[in-house]
A and B are shown apart, each in its own frame.
Chain A
Amino acid sequence: MQENYLAKWLNNELSEEEVVKFKESKEYASYVKLREATDNLVGPDFDMAKAWEDLNKQKASKESKVVKLNPFKKYLSIAAAIALIFTATFLYYGTLNEEVSTQYAERAEIVLPDASEVQLNADSQISYSKKNWDNKRNIALNGEAYFKVAKGKRFTVTTENGTVTVLGTQFNVENRKGYFEVACYEGLVSVIYNKKEVKLPAGNSLVVINGEVQALEIPNIKEPSWIRNESNFKSIPLKYVLDEFQRQFNLEVATQNIDTEQLFTGSFSNTNKDLALQSISTPSQMKYKLEGNKVLFYAETP
């Protein structure tokens, strides 16, 4: 037998005599089986359209560094980029046909086509494409949601503030006015904020308040507290706490003589209104008045 005859055999390069000789050997059957078994192997998933899109984004951001010798060509590429963005946006929004939203004091649980789960907190909205889900796991989010992602292709959550991508894990995204938070409970989450990518391993969170980025550890719990009907805060300006309170109980909140930028650490119940009111007011040394669906928080006067 010649050198490397197995490689030659697989490539049909053996001479007839060699084939006959090889067929007589006792290993021949095993090699045939090995060849058959590996005929059915498939490679990993590769989303070429997305890769191309990402590449163009990166190219666009690097474009400015390249000195162009032909000025007309520059305009051509800009025109092409604009056309591409328009087409991409059009295609993207065209595919987001499924929509789920919650009102104040409401919650929803959604099972996606691949059995990934989404829990939607109050006053939030998601949209995605049911039809195209197998191709692209893409969700647009406004508000707050907790995701349990089934293993598979890249799963992307797009928000106004940033983009979150994962392959299969559990994480929470909160996207409110002036406030953006991503917490990872399992696996690894990649967050793109302000064109910068941050990798969040399990047990970590990223909080952005008014453009200021903070990396925090999350308490060692398996899921966000709101799933268990509790809203939890750690050094968060009071106004975001009151916003959340408003969303959970569908109340109108007003304040008087209160610094809403002061930091609040603690939690409140999402089911018991009176308990919640006390949990918020006592540590911040405030008093409150509840009338109908209006709450007024005011400073305690000595």
Chain B
Amino acid sequence: MKAIKEEHVCEDKVYASIFSTHSKTVFNYIYYKFGNEEKAYDVVQEAFIKLWENCSKVAPDKAKSYVYTIANNLYLNVIKAEKVRLKYAPGTNAVVNESPDFIMEEQEYKEKLERALQALPENQRTTFLLNRIDGKKYAEIADMEGVSVKAIEKRMHLALKTLREKIEGI
């Protein structure tokens, strides 16, 4: 059953829950495009202020795409993106009895991967990282970017292909 009385974005509780669900993804989304944490942080602030100012005009189920649209527009106003630097989860690769050679190879691989990610076109990188890091479904990413699911699959396919080619030096 759906609630009969529709909730309003202006209500503090609703607004806070929209913020806690989406602010991190907006931040990551813009970071993957920009490569600048400070700007991504500012974009989050600005997008959610806009949502607050227009809270009476935005239905709760539209709030998410509203915030992404604003974040996207703010991104478009900035000319040049910096390098995207990412980290690895600590300990995930820490098997004690690895040989030094193996560890070095792994390290080299990570560096190649990092460079390859930086070289990807912005839209492929964003799609790839939103899926791999934030676990977003293709349909969700399509929503954020305002394109079809098929377009996202295309970007994902190309991202994988390009990454492999770059890493292996083909």
Which B residues are CB-close (under 8 A) to A77? 12
- Contact: B31 with A43, CB < 8 Å? yes
Which A residues are CB-close (under 8 A) to B87? 41-42
Interface residues on A, range: 35 or more
Nearest-Cβ distance from residue A72 to partner chain B, whole angstroms = 14
A40 interfacial contact with B, CB 8 Å:
yes
Which B residues are CB-close (under 8 A) to A27? 164
Residue among B37, B128, B160 with max Cβ neighbours from chain A (10 Å): B160
Question: Which of A2-10, A201-209, A226-234 lies at the interface?
Answer: A2-10
- Contact: B113 with A37, CB < 8 Å? yes
Which residue of chain A has the shortest Cβ distance to B49 in the bound complex? A58
A44 interfacial contact with B, CB 8 Å:
yes
Which among A6, A58, A190 is the interface contact of B45 at CB below 8 angstroms? Answer: A58
Which A residues are CB-close (under 8 A) to B27? 44, 46, 51
Interface residues of B in 93-140 (CB under 8 A from A): 93, 109-110, 113, 128-129, 131-134, 138
Which among A11, A42, A55, A62 is the interface contact of B89 at CB below 8 angstroms? Answer: A42
B153 interfacial contact with A, CB 8 Å:
yes
A259 interfacial contact with B, CB 8 Å:
no
Report the Cα distance A31→B160, complex, angstroms.
Answer: 8
Which A residues are CB-close (under 8 A) to B88? 40-42
- Contact: A54 with B45, CB < 8 Å? yes
Interface residues of A in 9-67 (CB under 8 A from B): 10-11, 27, 30-31, 33-34, 37-46, 48, 51-52, 54-55, 58-59, 62, 66
A167 interfacial contact with B, CB 8 Å:
yes
Nearest-Cβ distance from residue A275 to partner chain B, whole angstroms = 44
Interface residues of B in 18-45 (CB under 8 A from A): 19-20, 23-24, 27-28, 31, 37-38, 40-41, 44-45
Which residue of chain A has the shortest Cβ distance to B155 in the bound complex? A7
B71 interfacial contact with A, CB 8 Å:
no
B86 interfacial contact with A, CB 8 Å:
yes
Report the Cα distance A154→B44, complex, angstroms.
Answer: 15
B6 interfacial contact with A, CB 8 Å:
no
A80 interfacial contact with B, CB 8 Å:
yes
10 contacts between A and B (CB under 8 A): A7-B153, A7-B156, A11-B138, A27-B164, A33-B109, A41-B89, A42-B89, A46-B27, A48-B20, A51-B23
